[in-house]
Structure 1
Amino acid sequence: QAFDRARFGRRSEKLGSANGDDEQQAFVFEEIETGIAAIKAQVSKGRAQADGKRAPRRRKGFAPHLERIETVIEPQELAEHAGKQKVLIGEGVSERLDVVPAKFRVIVTRRPKYAFKNADGVIQAPAPAHIIEGGIPTEALLAHIAVAKYADGLPLYRQEAIYARDQVELDRQLMAQWMGKLGFELEIIADYIFSEVKKAERVFADETTLPTLAPGSGSTKTAYLWAYARDDRTFGRSGPPMVAYRFEDSRAGECAVRHLNGYRGIL
């Protein structure tokens, strides 16, 4: 009932604000599914205890690229088996999905410094270039934080709390500075992707609201994220699909004119 009310009820009856309706509905749906699963588990356990059998479950196979860790469980050797030769006639195989939680590690780089006997001069390998020069993060850590923030919607303050569980102190302000530097370094890739998008015969465009912090006001303002996509697979082309994003404070047509400057295809 709560889920149906969230989906079909009047706007005044819906959970949360207009911007948060989708998230609230997803939350309600997940909670309902969790509750139903708990009830089913209770019922299934009662049936299993009654008849001693577990109902068979159909499963979809796991992706082939996932690493397989095999464990062989041999039957227990009993006294009555002594002197008998075992012949393998088959096996029961089951697969369960496992996960290795992300873990932090420290990359230690040593650059030996050498001098020459009875000669002048000192040699040492140059320090490798990094995105954050003189900083603590590796490029893998920067990618991890960026994907969590921008692809998975995990704000930096939440990441800060998550990492603290591993006794890793990463201040959100520091991570924000890293993301700014990373965005600058990735700008050339973003521009290249957009230039490739504009080479297509057809470009699909849309914009969506994006609540954005208004500096100094302590509140948010409505900004817009413009998306420009190309995907000609349905037109028999083999080019890879791609999408480019542009952030704006407006949804005026002038934004699209500026973004698509020089484009002569179908919008």
Structure 2
Amino acid sequence: MYTKNEVLKLKNRIAQLEKENKTLHETVEFLTHKLFGRSSEKTSVIAGQVNLFNEAEIESSPSAPEPNLKEVSNYRRKKFKGQRAELLKDIPHDTVICGLEEDERFCEKCGTPLKSIGREFIRTEIEFIPAKVRVIDYYREAYECRKCRKEGLPYIEKSPMPYPVVQHSMASPSTVAHIMYEKYVNALPLYRQEREWASLGVKLTRATMSNWIMVASRNWLKPLTNLMHQKLIGEKYLHADETPVQVLMEPGRKNTSESYMWLYSTYAGSQKPIRLFDYRPSRSGDCPQKFLKGFKGYLHTDCYKGYNKVPGITRCLCWTHLRRYFVEALPKDINSPEATLPARGIDFCNKLFAEEKLIKELTPDERKIKRLETEKPILDAFWSWINSIKYICLPKSKLGKAVDYAVNNKKGFMNYLLDGNCAISNNLSENSIRPFTIGRKNWLFSGSPKGAEASAAVYSIVETARANGLEPYSYLEFLFKNLPGVQFEAHPEFLEEYLPWDSWVQSSCKKNK
């Protein structure tokens, strides 16, 4: 027979094991979903229930009628008149006339020659023209003064030459721009580009291409990104994010060590959009502290505490990250009672995002006032709900972590109300760093710290070009054609006219110009 104390201990132990078992099951379901499930976080919360199959997200209305199966099965993509012409309006057109041969232009009834009476349009096709390369041999012409030569004072003058993008190499501006574009925009690793060049008849090794990228980045791109850095520090609103990257041959570190690529961005309303990447061998808070030295203003980030080392800033935390915690807390069976609380958290976040869409076009001052009118009550209800459930959630469960994440960072989640230029999420920096993460899946690692620094410079130029409405390849080629030979070391102000918002650059590299 067990004593009362022993029975009580056994009951407590059983309850503890049940909690641990539930947490383990939740973890297995979460990891299984991460491995095999869809990565999209789009959901809609209707009447307290989560419908993961409705990707309209917060645009859906609770009063909207649900489509029946017949409506869904008969769905067809809508077409509008002139859709094809709109898609092809910026592409050069050639006309092909399909006519009869001269000896076929006669009437089969009487033999009289036929005369053309008009043309009938049949169809439009897109023709693919394969890439080709050509070799350009530069010669410099020399000029002599014959009169001076007769007088015994020979005078010879040689014509000026365009400066090369990489000294003592075959690299042209278009070639280096293309290699960078393929790797950093199309995420095509150098070993694949090596095969592409070979198919065009050029034996260009990945080592040569890598060297061109590093030299061109160091000489022509890095001075520009340094100037952008100065301008970024002078902004009042910034976004930041970081992601791991493997870099080989780092001094004193194993090749398996994890380094980081940091991203710093101006806010959505900036007149001079800037996206800067910064390679660092660690995730220490010293990295943003050093990079953002002199910055005073609002910094939008996730809840990583390393950013607290940056002095004189107001941190605005990302509600998309908080919403993600509640999405991850959803059980496999979304109709089970365990889904109610996570669904409620998602619902609060969705309501805030819906309000943000409604005030997107307002001025900053109007946006601040409207947020206090419409979003502050939602926020008050959210924090009241969080306080009511924080003691009933298992601490190590996904829902418990979501609640702790919210409670421990409440001030940061509320700071976006302080200024109408602040954003409710850090999606801007996440979207800017995504091309890097996509490329990383293909090229996997950087071969050296210098290579990582070069990648940071190229990504900075490419993403800043995109943010300013430029075509990345055109901008890279423009820089490599025009920057070599410019004495910007002695006159730093010369670099101003090569920044992506300059009118000369805009007129030369604008998309669909």
> Structures share a fold, TM > 0.5?
yes
Does residue 246 (structure 1) correspond to residue 278 (structure 2)? The answer is yes
1:131-170 matches, cutoff 5 A: 131-170=165-204
Q: Which residue of the partner structure matches residue 95 of structure 1?
A: 124
Which of these residues, 159, 164, 171, is aligned with residue 125 of structure 1?
Answer: 159
Q: CA deviation at 1:202?
A: 1.4
Give CA-to-partner distance per residue, 1:226-265, whole Å, 9 cap, x none: 11112433xxx6x143311111111222211111111112
1:31-46 matches, cutoff 5 A: none
Judged with a 3 Å threshold, the aligned counterparts in structure 2 of structure 1 residues 65 and 196 are, in CA distance, closer, same or farther, namely farther
Q: CA deviation at 1:11?
A: 6.8
For 1:230, the aligned partner's letter is T
Q: Distance in 1 between matches of 2:266 and 2:123?
A: 42
Q: Which residue of the partner structure matches residue 295 of structure 2?
A: 263
Does residue 200 (structure 1) correspond to residue 231 (structure 2)? The answer is no
For 1:71, the aligned partner's letter is V
Q: Which residue of the partner structure matches residue 10 of structure 1?
A: 32
Q: Distance in 2 between matches of 1:183 and 1:210?
A: 19
Larger of the two Rg values belongs to structure: 2
Unaligned runs of 5+ in 1: 1-7, 16-20, 23-56
Judged with a 3 Å threshold, the aligned counterparts in structure 2 of structure 1 residues 254 and 114 are, in CA distance, closer, same or farther, namely same
In the superposition, the TM-score normalised over structure 2's length comes to 0.37
Q: Distance in 2 between matches of 1:150 and 1:173?
A: 17
Q: Which residue of the partner structure matches residue 73 of structure 2?
A: none
Q: Which residue of the partner structure matches residue 107 of structure 2?
A: 79
Which of these residues, 217, 221, 224, is aligned with residue 189 of structure 1?
Answer: 224
Secondary structure of 1:10's counterpart equals helix
Task: Report if the CA contact (8 A) 1:114-1:123 is conserved.
Answer: yes
Q: Distance in 2 between matches of 1:14 and 1:232?
A: 34
Task: Report if the CA contact (8 A) 1:214-1:220 is conserved.
Answer: no
For 2:282, the aligned partner's letter is S
Q: CA deviation at 1:63?
A: 4.6
Q: Which residue of the partner structure matches residue 264 of structure 2?
A: 228
Q: Distance in 2 between matches of 1:78 and 1:69?
A: 28
Q: Distance in 2 between matches of 1:155 and 1:218?
A: 23
Q: CA deviation at 1:140?
A: 1.3
Task: Report if the CA contact (8 A) 2:241-2:263 is conserved.
Answer: yes
Give CA-to-partner distance per residue, 1:137-196, whole Å, 9 cap, x none: 111111111121222222222211211112211122222221111111211111222333
Q: Which residue of the partner structure matches residue 91 of structure 2?
A: 66
Q: CA deviation at 1:220?
A: 4.2
Q: Which residue of the partner structure matches residue 424 of structure 2?
A: none
Give CA-to-partner distance per residue, 1:187-215, whole Å, 9 cap, x none: 11112223333333311111111222246
Which of these residues, 94, 106, 110, is aligned with residue 139 of structure 2?
Answer: 110
Judged with a 3 Å threshold, the aligned counterparts in structure 2 of structure 1 residues 73 and 160 are, in CA distance, closer, same or farther, namely same
Unaligned runs of 5+ in 2: 1-29, 40-77, 300-513
Q: Which residue of the partner structure matches residue 49 of structure 1?
A: none
Task: Report if the CA contact (8 A) 1:194-1:243 is conserved.
Answer: no
Higher helix share: 2
Q: Which residue of the partner structure matches residue 52 of structure 1?
A: none
Secondary structure of 2:87's counterpart equals coil
For 1:258, the aligned partner's letter is K
Task: Report if the CA contact (8 A) 2:236-2:297 is conserved.
Answer: yes
Give CA-to-partner distance per residue, 1:84-109, whole Å, 9 cap, x none: 65543x73253333333322111122
Q: Distance in 2 between matches of 1:12 and 1:205?
A: 25
For 1:92, the aligned partner's letter is F
Larger RCO of the pair (alpha carbons < 8 Å, separation 6+): 2
